A and B are shown apart, each in its own frame.
Chain A
Amino acid sequence: MFKGLFNVIVKEVKELVRDPTLLLGMIIVPLIIFPLMGFAVQTSMKAAEESMENISIAVMNLDKGTVAENLTNFLTTLGVTIVKIDDLNFTEAVNYVQQSNLTGLIVIPLNFTNNITGGLKAELDVYSVFRGGGIAESTSSSTISTLLKSFEESLVFQKIFEEIPEEDPQTVLNPIDMSEKSIVKGKSVNIHPSVLFGLMMSQSMGMPIGIMMLLIFAMQLAATSVASEKEEKTLETLLTLPINRLTILAGKLTGSIIVAVVGAIAYIVGFTYYMGSFMGIMPAETGVDLAAIGLAPTPISYLLLGASLFVSLISALALAISISVFAEDVKGAQALVGPLSMLLIFPMIFMMFTDIYALPFPLMIVLLAIPFTHPMLASKVAFTGDYLTAVIGIVYVSIFTIAVLYIAARLFGTEKILTAKLKFKGLRRRKRKPAE
């Protein structure tokens, strides 16, 4: 029945891979654009770090007391450049800070020292210059407040030391030493829950994005492979060849899968590089062994995820092929298939941020009815070991796939694959007639 399948697959792959627009969009762009984006992020991060190191602040000291003096000395010891502008009035000071490219302005009001030494709350006005936003500016601004916080802490430590000299100020301030741990699958694990959540988050965000990209690629490819047969007028000849129509369909499905997988790998490589560029500002490797605490995917969960992905891929392709049969050319097919990607983006967004079973019931039903939700769900349950959910999803998507494949095979098996185009032609001819 599938005689000639290999011949069709080879032709499909050659046609798709040699198409310059596809090659550019699917392989070259992710491999060049993502690393470029990563480079841009890295460069701006570096610039932000550098600007953090070179913080210069104008200080308007109206107090002139010892604590005020201590404050400016404290900042200077931490590497901050202090510009004293005591002889300017406030308006002049603001103008000066804006024009002389300083990070901010600290106004130490009168009685600052008196209030602190007298046990009263003292005020301090801190201004950060807004020059158009950006990471560098916001980090500089938060650095100023962090520095001031540590000055405040040093004041508290001093106070405690003066009042209760026999006790450690650190113990007075933090009398409880909290040790946060997690319980995973009925076992206590010596890992902070936020570390675990962070790890799971990166897993559950990455997989749905990858799955979505793979499916969208595959759908576009399948639609293109059918529509280009029409556009290039090769379909009629192909359909009169001694080859089963189902073989043509299977060849197109397989060819699209092969190229989509290559495209998805390129995308994942590019995306990983891009994500890697953020690592500089993220906490270093946590060193958590997920396998040891039972949160790593088991071989069974990999198998289930693979099966779920496979049936979803076939259904996406069959759906794209069935729809593109009605298009006259590649552009038309892509326009028809485009809205289908909503069926992928919609579940992906929910999957990234929430547990599907925590959603309102009608919304949960809508999401579960979308077949492409299931591989994303399978990627999540893989870590939790809830195999039943994955199996039910595979069964559901398989039924959906068979139904769509049946429709695709019907469309390919009958003359509809040609007459869809013929109808358009007929309509056009009829429309033109009155003008003739």
Chain B
Amino acid sequence: MLEASGVLELSLAIEATDVVKVFGSIHALDGLSFTVKHGEIFGLIGPNGAGKTTALRIISTLLKPTSGSVKVLGRDVVDEASEIRRLISYLPEEAGAYKNLSGYEYLEFMAKFTIEDKEMIRETVEVAAKISGLEERLKDKVKTYSKGMKRRLLVARALMTKPKLALLDEPTSGLDVLHSVHVRGIIKQYVEKEGVTVLLSSHNMLEVEHLCGKVALINKGKIVAEGSPAELEKKVNASNLEEVFAKVVGFV
């Protein structure tokens, strides 16, 4: 996961072009296009049912687009899905962990898929233990964890292997203020020091404003506004991202 090739550095981290995803009669994505550069924290924001999770699922190779193309780290999500899975890490919004495994066992299970060396696995799990801040509780079974503890375990899992691209769907959902601040700090640190690119979706505008260098506003399966938080605020004459959101989506 750490081997960086010249090709990867040159190309975009994500390049979504005219993506359509249809479920029966529902158009979850309706011509979605956006790009994410390497080393950036990109925020995907939008109302419920706008298509954020579907977009993340397509980028993470879980779903195939009905039409359009998505390239992740220069690779096509349909034809080179297994290549992409080696480079990314996806944290779903409603993710869980195996309840009958201990926190350590869970992290070890996950680490073994990307790392072969035993010593490296141990080190990676130690890193995750620090990120999660769960310490001794990692020895307990996941089913004894609170919602917040589980989320911290999952965030640690998503970042511990230092993926080229981390897709984080509501990374701080269910966390209290202190832990949210901690997680945001970790995300920033991984981008700045480890060269991880992050695409995150969030309903917390404060979080997006604080973390993301670039934001795309998605509504009804399309991008309706894109730019840095400051650019967007200026563009629609709003004082913060929340106002931008309300104005663009059409409530104000």
Contact = CB atoms under 8 A, between A and B. Distances in A.
Interface of A: 4, 7, 10-11, 14-15, 18-19, 232-234, 236-237, 239-244, 415, 418-419, 422-423, 426
Task: Indicate the member of B23, B85, B100 with the most A CB atoms within 10 Å.
Answer: B100
Nearest to A236: B92
Given A240-B61, A415-B63, A419-B63, 4 more contacts: A11-B101, A233-B92, A422-B23, A423-B23
Contact of A233 (B60, B94, B100, B112): B94
A50 B229 CA distance: 91
B98 interface: yes
Nearest to B169: A236
Given A232-B98, A415-B62, A7 B114 contact: no
Contacts, number: 77
Contacts of B62: 236, 239-240, 415, 418
Nearest to B90: A240
B100 A18 contact: yes
B214 interface: no
Nearest to A415: B63
A240 B88 contact: yes
A426 B24 contact: yes
Contact of A242 (B92, B105, B114): B114
Contacts of B154: 237
Nearest to A18: B100
Nearest to B97: A234
Contacts of B61: 240
Given A242-B86, A426-B23, A234 B95 contact: yes
A423 B85 CA distance: 25
Given A14-B101, A14-B105, A241 B113 contact: yes
B64 interface: yes
A4 B82 contact: no
Interface in B74-121: 82, 85-86, 88-92, 94-101, 105, 109-110, 112-114
B1 to A, nearest CB: 9
Contact of A240 (B60, B64, B97): B60
Contacts of A419: 23, 63
Contacts of B24: 423, 426
Nearest to B113: A241
Given A415-B62, A415-B63, A423-B23, A11 B109 contact: yes
A11 to B, nearest CB: 5
Contacts of B97: 232, 234
Contacts of A426: 23-24, 26
Contacts of B114: 241-242
Task: Indicate the member of A14, A240, A419 with the most B CB atoms within 10 Å.
Answer: A240
B112 A236 contact: no
A240 B24 CA distance: 24
A239 B98 CA distance: 14
A240 B62 CA distance: 7
A423 B96 CA distance: 21
15 contacts: A7-B109, A7-B112, A7-B113, A10-B109, A232-B97, A232-B98, A236-B57, A236-B90, A237-B92, A240-B60, A240-B61, A240-B90, A241-B110, A415-B63, A423-B24
Nearest to B60: A240
Contacts of A15: 98, 100-101
Interface in B1-51: 23-24, 26
A422 B86 CA distance: 26
Contacts of A415: 62-64
Contact of B96 (A233, A241, A242, A418): A233
A237 B60 CA distance: 9
Given A234-B98, A415-B64, A244 B82 contact: yes
Contacts of B112: 4, 7
B95 A233 contact: yes
Interface in B190-217: none
B96 A234 contact: yes
Nearest to A425: B23
B92 A4 contact: no
Contacts of A18: 100-101, 141
Contacts of B101: 11, 14-15, 18
Nearest to B108: A7
A27 B97 CA distance: 25
Contact of A11 (B89, B90, B98): B98
Contacts of B89: 240
Contacts of A422: 23
A369 to B, nearest CB: 35
A234 B114 CA distance: 17
Contacts of A233: 92, 94-96
Given A422-B23, A423-B24, A426-B23, A4 B98 contact: no
A18 B64 CA distance: 35
Task: Indicate the member of B86, B105, B113 with the most A CB atoms within 10 Å.
Answer: B113
A241 to B, nearest CB: 5
The 5 closest A-B pairs by CB, nearest first: A18-B100, A233-B96, A232-B96, A242-B86, A240-B90
Nearest to A10: B109
